């Protein structure tokens, strides 16, 4: 009966006109927003609250999604060793791929020399515009970073919406419930019902995504304008092409060895791709990305562990941005960096790329922190890219999101949760059913 109902639901979906689909609505919103930003910049800037409101609506529910998903997943598992094994595999994968991204950004920066034609005197730059970020980008040691994961109180973690802190609480709570055995069933049943309710809320909120996308994109075009990019277009173009190449070549090769096609996966998450590009943030895509990964066959526990952790440790787009932009600032201000100095930037960026998580504009803040540790390049040089950071953040967030989706599928394949044939088959199914089945 349930299968027959689902088949009817799919049929209804197929008969739905193309202009009513989610991705088409997002595309239309982006186009209208771009036109508004070009024709009436002042009015377009006033649309900013629409984008901010949508992001806040989604981010307010993310801690509950992570908590309910991870707790029910872990509590329902028989083998607790598997939780630790998945966590270790995920961290190793994250470190290898994000470090490779840092290295690729360094190589591309040396080959293309995006800032070599600017010849800017560092003393003419507005250092005050970067001072606020310098305060956020204070050096953070490894012990400080680890202590930050532990919240002051349970309520504080949810109040601040810190993903890693909420994840820690969820893992501990899930482990406790698994130890309780039969006594935990009533509470576990309640949490499972809460999970369905939370995804139901997400399904409702996502109906406002086109409005949020319109507000965010209108503000970006109206505030900064395409014409204002000027000589920095070379940096933006280099970063965009490098990001696309990273997805196709690096993530594509990883996907191929794991038994699936990267282009099929990108098509499967096209809604999330458009949303991230419009909002310039990957967080609003977390709920639907997690739902779609479960729909593909990944377990609830694995998705709940890998995706939230990846948003801190697997920032491929941010890693590409950091080393490439650091070289751009050096080249634009006429500073020649030796191989040793570049390797120092590379080594420091491995740490700082993780240390600014949870801060708005985290990648920009992390890069300011890197340059503070490596004084060869003037921190004031970051004023050059401050005005275009919003355009850079579109692709940073996008690559971060795609990278975490690929990572989840790869680790799920390592754990033998699904075979290649099943994964390829599921990638051809209707992704719109993901949220409806969970809610």
Is there a contact between 426 and 268 (Cβ–Cβ < 8 Å)?
no
Position 71 in a domain: yes
**22-31, 67-76, 272-281, 380-389: segment of lowest average pLDDT:** 380-389
pLDDT in tens, 158-198: 887 777 788 888 888 888 887 777 777 888 888 888 888 88
Would the pLDDT of 22 be above 60?
yes
Is there a contact between 68 and 254 (Cβ–Cβ < 8 Å)?
no
What domain count does the chain have? 1
According to the model, what pLDDT value does residue 20 have?
60
Q: Within 10 Å of residue 131's Cβ, how many Cβ atoms?
A: 12
Count of residues making up the chain: 439
Position 358 in a domain: yes
According to the model, what pLDDT value does residue 224 have?
67
Is there a contact between 374 and 382 (Cβ–Cβ < 8 Å)?
no
Would the pLDDT of 253 be above 90?
yes
Position 177 in a domain: yes
Position 9 in a domain: no
From 355, 350, 325, 352, select the one nearest 243 (Cα to Cα): 325
Would the pLDDT of 156 be above 60?
yes
- Boundaries of domain holding 433: 18-438
**25-29, 95-99, 293-297: segment of lowest average pLDDT:** 25-29
Would the pLDDT of 3 be above 90?
no
Question: 């070549």: which residue's tokens?
Answer: 249
Sorted by sequence, the CB contacts under 8 Å of residue 21 that are 6+ apart come out as none
Q: How far is CA 239 from the centre of its chain?
A: 17
Position 28 in a domain: yes
Is there a contact between 137 and 34 (Cβ–Cβ < 8 Å)?
no
Position 6 in a domain: no
Position 377 in a domain: yes
What pTM did the predictor assign? Answer: 0.77
Question: What stretches of 314-388 show up as alpha helix (H) in DSSP?
Answer: 316-332, 339-355, 362-373, 383-386
Distance CA 13, CA 294 (A): 20
Q: Tell me, what CATH number does 22's domain have?
A: 1.10.3860.10
Position 8 in a domain: no
According to the model, what pLDDT value does residue 145 have?
63
According to the model, what pLDDT value does residue 408 have?
92
Query: In the structure encoding, which two tokens stand for residue 142, read together?
Result: 């490894």
pLDDT in tens, 77-125: 656 677 778 888 888 999 899 999 999 999 998 998 887 777 666 665 5
Sorted by sequence, the CB contacts under 8 Å of residue 268 that are 6+ apart come out as 292, 296, 427, 431
């Amino acid at each position: 009966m349930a299968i027959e109902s689902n088949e009817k639901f799919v049929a209804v979906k197929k008969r739905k006109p193309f202009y009513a689909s989610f991705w088409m609505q997002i595309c239309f919103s982006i186009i209208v927003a771009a036109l508004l930003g070009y024709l009436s910049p002042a009015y377009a800037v006033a649309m900013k609250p629409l984008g901010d409101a949508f992001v806040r609506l989604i981010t307010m529910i993310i801690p509950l999604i992570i908590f309910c998903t991870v707790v029910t997943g872990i509590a329902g598992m028989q083998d607790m060793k598997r939780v630790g094994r998945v966590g270790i595999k995920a961290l190793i994968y994250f470190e290898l791929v994000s470090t490779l991204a840092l290295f690729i950004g360094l190589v591309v920066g040396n080959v293309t020399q995006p800032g070599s034609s600017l010849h800017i005197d560092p003393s003419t730059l507005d250092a005050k515009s970067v001072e606020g970020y310098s305060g956020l980008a204070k050096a953070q040691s490894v012990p400080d970073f680890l202590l930050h994961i532990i919240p002051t109180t349970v309520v504080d973690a949810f109040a601040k919406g810190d993903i890693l802190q909420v994840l820690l609480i969820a893992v501990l709570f899930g482990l406790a419930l698994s130890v309780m055995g039969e006594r935990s069933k009533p509470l576990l049943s309640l949490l499972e019902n809460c999970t369905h309710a939370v995804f139901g809320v997400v399904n409702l909120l996502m109906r406002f995504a086109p409005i949020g996308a319109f507000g965010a994109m209108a503000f970006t075009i109206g505030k900064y304008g395409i014409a204002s990019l000027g000589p920095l277009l070379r940096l933006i173009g280099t970063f965009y092409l490098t990001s696309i190449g990273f997805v196709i070549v690096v993530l594509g090769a990883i996907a191929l060895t794991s038994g699936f096609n990267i282009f099929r996966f990108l098509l499967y998450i096209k809604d999330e791709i458009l949303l991230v590009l419009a909002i310039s943030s990957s967080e609003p895509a977390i709920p639907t990305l997690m739902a779609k990964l479960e729909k593909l066959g990944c377990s609830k526990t694995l998705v709940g562990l890998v995706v939230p952790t990846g948003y801190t440790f697997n920032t491929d787009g941010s890693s590409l941005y950091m080393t490439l932009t650091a070289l751009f600032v050096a080249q634009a201000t006429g500073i020649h960096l030796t191989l040793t100095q570049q390797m120092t930037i590379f080594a420091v960026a491995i740490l700082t790329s993780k240390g600014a998580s949870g801060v708005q504009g985290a990648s920009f803040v992390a890069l300011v922190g890197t340059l503070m540790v490596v004084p060869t390049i003037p921190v004031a040089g970051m004023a050059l890219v401050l005005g275009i950071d919003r355009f850079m953040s579109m692709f940073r967030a996008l690559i971060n999101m795609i990278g975490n989706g690929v990572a989840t599928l790869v680790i799920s394949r390592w754990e033998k949760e699904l075979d290649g044939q099943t994964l390829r088959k599921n990638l051809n199914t209707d992704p719109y059913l993901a949220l409806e089945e969970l809610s």
